[in-house]
Each structure stands twice: as C-alpha cells, then as structure tokens.
C-alpha cells in the first residue's frame, strides 16, 4: 500500500472545494459528477459546454498529478470483470435512488448544511465500509 501523502490530499481537497464553490457562485449549479456526466450522456449536443469543460478539468487534473508524481498508477488486473460491471451498475442505481453522488451530497450538500445530504453521505460511507469489510473478510474467496 502507498504511503499517505497529506500535502497532496490537502491540495486535492482544496481544489475540489474551490471548483465546487466557483461553479456554485458562477452558475448556481451543484458540482455533482453523476448529474454532470448523466446530462452529457442524455443530451450529447445540448448538455452545455461547461459540463464538458468540468469533466475535462477533472481528467486533466488527474493527468497532471500523474505526470508530476514518481509513483505510477498500476490498475488491478486480477479483479473479476463481472464484479466490476455489477459494482458499476450498483453505483449508477444508487446515485439515481439517492438523488446524487458523493460529490454532490458529500462536498456540496454538506457545505450547504443539507440534512438530506448528511443522511446520503452517511449511507454512502456506511455502505463503503461494509463493502470493504465483506470483500476482505466475509467474501469467502469470491473476490
């Protein structure tokens, strides 16, 4: 496991907060990634240029960070493809049922003191912790 880099985490979190604040102040929109990407998929030509620029900024930021660090990102290749597809589908279903994703609720909703976002974020975190426990300890070798 890689060593935790608190400076990188602090800078990354600050940039996420700044981007969410600028989007809210500039356009009145919430920086929920599932909603931004979902709108691009639903209306490819009419989603609004800002959505494409926001996603390009996310990808560009990740590319810049990777090019500045000495530790390469090595994707896991030993994970069952069916589990990846099932996980992706469950995340998609969960964001629709929860009315948003971790960025919309956890970053923007909590900053706006939304009770709904607090409940959603607690459910996200609890589910994530339970999933990690199950895969590492209770999965019976499935994963």
Res 107 pLDDT > 90: no
pLDDT tens figures, 53-99: 989 998 998 888 888 877 777 777 887 888 888 888 888 888 888 88
Confidence of residue 142 (pLDDT cuts 50, 70, 90): low
Asked if residues 117 and 105 have their Cβ atoms less than 8 Å apart, the reply is: yes
How far is it, in rounded angstroms, from Cα 12 to Cα 65?
10
Identify the band that residue 1 occupies on the pLDDT scale cut at 50, 70 and 90. Answer: low
Residue 58: the pLDDT is 87
Q: Are 121 and 102 spatial neighbours (Cβ–Cβ below 8 Å)?
A: yes
Are 109 and 100 in contact by the 8 Å Cβ rule? The answer is yes
């Amino acid at each position: 496991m890689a060593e935790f880099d608190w400076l990188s985490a602090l800078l990354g979190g600050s940039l996420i907060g700044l981007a969410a604040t600028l989007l809210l102040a500039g356009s009145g929109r919430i920086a929920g990634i599932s909603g931004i990407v979902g709108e691009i998929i639903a209306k490819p030509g009419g989603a609004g240029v800002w959505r494409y620029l926001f996603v390009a900024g996310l990808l560009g930021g990740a590319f810049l960070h990777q090019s500045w660090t000495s530790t390469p990102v090595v994707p896991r290749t030993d994970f069952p493809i069916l589990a990846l597809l099932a996980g992706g589908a469950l995340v998609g279903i969960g964001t629709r049922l929860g009315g948003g994703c971790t960025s919309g609720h956890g970053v923007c909703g909590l900053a706006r003191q939304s009770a709904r976002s607090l409940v959603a974020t607690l459910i996200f975190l609890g589910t994530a912790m339970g999933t990690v426990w199950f895969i590492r300890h209770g999965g019976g070798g499935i994963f």
